[in-house]
Amino acid sequence: MRLRFNRTLSHLHRYRHIVAVLARHGLSEVLAAVGRKARFRRRAKLHEGRTERPKHTRPQRVRMALEELGPTFIKFGQLLSTRPDLVPPAYVAELEKLQDHCRPVPFAKIERELVRQLGGPIEENFRQFDRQPIAAGSIAQVHRAVTREGHTAAVKVRRPGVARTVRIECEILEEMAGLVKSVFALPEHVDPVRLVRELTAAVERETDLSNELRNLRRFARNFADDDTVHIPPAYDEQCAAGVLTMEYIDGVKPTSREALAAAGMDADLVAQRGARFVLRQVFDFGTFHTDPHPGNVLITDGNVVVALDFGQVARLGSRNQALLAEGVLAVVDRDAHRIVSAFQQEDLLSDKTDSRALADELEELLDVYHALPLNEIPFGQMMSQTFDVIRKHHVRPPAEFALMLKSVMTIESLARGLTTEFKLIEELTPYARRLTLEKADPRRLLKAARRAATDTLKLAGRLPGEVGTILTKVRQGDFQVHVRHEHLDDLVHTLDKSSNRLSFALIITGLLVGSSLLVPQDGSLLGLVRLQTLGVIGYCAAALLGLWLVGSIIRSRHL
C-alpha cells in the first residue's frame, strides 16, 4: 500500500514516535516494516541498535507498546482482543489487560463542549453538575448531574477533539496495516487492512454518542418485559452527538462473590441472570453487547442486572445464530462432523482447508471433554482451543460470530468468578435446541418454500429476456467477459522490474560492444573527440551502470 504523500507529511511526527516506541519494546519485525516503507530507515536502525534484550514475552511487549502509544491504540488493542479467531490466546490474554483509563479533561474544556453540543449554558439543562468526573476514558468522561426535571443523571461527554484524533490515528493504523501486509507473508484468511478497517469503524461508532443512544433505546425495547434486567433510560433533551445523558445507577459491580454478599445479594442468581441476559441478546434479539465485562455491569437491589455502556454493540444474523446453535449441539452430542458440515454450508472453508483433517482434529478435541459430565464442560476453555484449530485450518468465521463467542466467553468467566456452580453449557443448550426446532417449524418451512417458489417464478419470467440480451450482444460483438486476477498488480510490478533490469543489461552490453569497436580505431568524431577516448568513456559508463545494477539486485535480496 503506497502512502499518500500529503497524509504522510501530516503524520510524520507521529510515525517517528511510533518507530521509537516499537524499538523500545523490541518489536523489530514491525519496526523494520515501518522503517523501510515509511522512509525512517536510519532512525529505525538507530533505535533498534539501542534496544535492550527483551525481558518480557512478545505479547506483553505488544500490550506495553499499545499502552505507551495512547488512547486510540489502546482501544484498538481492546477490540483486537475480541477476535480470538485471528489472535492467538497468549495475545488475547494480554490485550484484555489494556485499561481504558485516562487523565480527566479539565472542566473548562468539558463545559465548552457541553455548551457547543447542547446549544446553551449548563444552567439551562442541569440544576446541578459535578465538576469532578466519576469516570474518564479515551473517548469520553462521565459526570454526575441533576437535570432540570430533577432526575439524577450520568452525563457522558465526548472529549474535545477526540473524533479528529481518532480519525488521524486510525489512518495511521490503516497505513501500518498496509505496510505489514506488503512485507510479511500472512495466512490467506488474515487481511490486516480489512481487519483495521473493521476495528476503525467500531472505534468511530463509539465516538458517536448518538449511536450509543440508539443502541440503548434498542436494548430498552428488547428487555422491557424482563424484570431481572434494567436498561437506564436516556434523557433526550440533554443528548447530542457528543453528549449522552442517562439515569444514574448506584449499584454493586459483580467483581466478587464477597462484594455481592456484603450488599445482601445472591451471587448464584446474579451469575445465572447475567448469563441469560447475554444469551437472550444473542439468540432472541440478534443484537448483543460485545464487551460485557464487570465494568459495564452493575447489580442493584433484587439482584437486577443493569447494563451501562452501549458503545460496542454488534448484530448477529439468523444464519450466524444457526451456526452457533450447530456448534453448541455438536459439543453436546459430541459430533465434530456436524460443525464442519455447518462451516461448509456457510462457505467458511478456504481452498487450503482439509475438511477431513479439520473434522478429525475437532473430534479429538471433543474426546478430551468426552469423559466430563455435560454440566462440567468448561465452555470458554474449549472455545479457546477450538479457535486454535480454526486458525490452523484456515476457517474464516464471520467477524460478528467471533465477537459473539468472545462475549459469551466473557460472561462465562464473570459468572465462574461468582459461583462454582455455574455451568454455561447448561444455559446454552436449551437456546440452541429451541433455535434448531424453530428451523424445522412447518410454518417457517412453508414460508421458505413460498419465498423460493416466488423467486423461481421471477427468475423464470426474466430468463427469456436475459438470454435474448446475451445472444444479441454476442451477435453484435459486444459480449465481454471480465476476468479478475487477485494478485495481478504484484505480477505486473515484478515484470516491470524484470524488464527494467533486462533493458539496463542490454544497454550495458551495447556500451561494451560499441566501446570495444571504437578503442582500436584511429581518428576523431567531428574533429573534437578521439574515437579511442569515446571507447574508454563507454567502458566507464558500462562499469558504473553494471555496479549500480548489481547493487540494486543485492539490495532487493532476490538474486
DSSP string, 150-206: S-EEEEEEEPTTHHHHHHHHHHHHHHHHHHHHHHS---TT--HHHHHHHHHHHHHHH
CA dist 502 and 543 (Å) reads: 16
Write down the pLDDT at residue 40: 45
Please name the residue that has the C-alpha cell 466430563: 372
Which is it for strands 287-289 and 140-147: parallel, antiparallel or unpaired? unpaired
* Per-residue DSSP letter, 2: P
Tens of pLDDT, residue by residue over 152-205, are 999 999 999 888 888 888 888 887 777 766 666 666 666 777 878 877 888 888
Write down the pLDDT at residue 176: 76
Write down the pLDDT at residue 45: 47
CA dist 491 and 388 (Å) reads: 33
Task: Give me the numbers of helices (H) and strands (E) for the chain, helices first please.
Answer: 23, 12
CA dist 41 and 45 (Å) reads: 6
Q: Report residue 434 as a C-alpha cell.
A: 429451541
DSSP string, 92-138: HHHHTT-----PPPPHHHHHHHHHHHHTS-HHHHEEEE-SS-SEE-S
The identity of residue 93, as a single letter, is A
Measuring CA to CA, which residue among 512, 506, 507 is closest to residue 536?
A: 512
Write down the pLDDT at residue 299: 92
**304-307: strand order across its sheet:** 229-230, 304-307, 297-300
Measuring CA to CA, which residue among 115, 131, 133 is closest to residue 123?
A: 115
Please name the residue that has the C-alpha cell 487523565: 103
CA distances for 189 relative to 33, 343, 349, 396, 472, angstroms: 21, 15, 10, 6, 41
CA angle 444/447/449 to nearest 5° reads 110
Measuring CA to CA, which residue among 21, 34, 117 is closest to residue 62?
A: 21
Q: Please give the model's pTM, rounded to 2 decimal places.
A: 0.68
Specify the long-range contacts of residues 294-298, CB closer than 8 Å, at least 24 apart: 294/253, 294/254, 294/255, 294/414, 295/253, 297/253, 297/254, 297/414, 298/249, 298/251, 298/252, 298/253, 298/254
Residues of the chain with pLDDT under 70: 1-13, 28-54, 85, 99-101, 180-190, 370-377, 380, 435-455, 457-459, 478-479, 482-497, 523, 525-527, 554-559
CA dist 515 and 242 (Å) reads: 74
In three-state secondary structure terms, 514 is helix
CA distances for 341 relative to 57, 349, 354, 399, angstroms: 38, 10, 12, 19
CA distances for 107 relative to 11, 146, 148, 360, angstroms: 29, 17, 20, 60
CB distance 144 to 133 below 8 Å? no
Question: Which residues face 153 on adjacent strands?
Answer: 145, 247
Q: Report residue 30 as a C-alpha cell.
A: 514491525
Q: Report residue 261 as a C-alpha cell.
A: 454478599
CB distance 60 to 27 below 8 Å? no
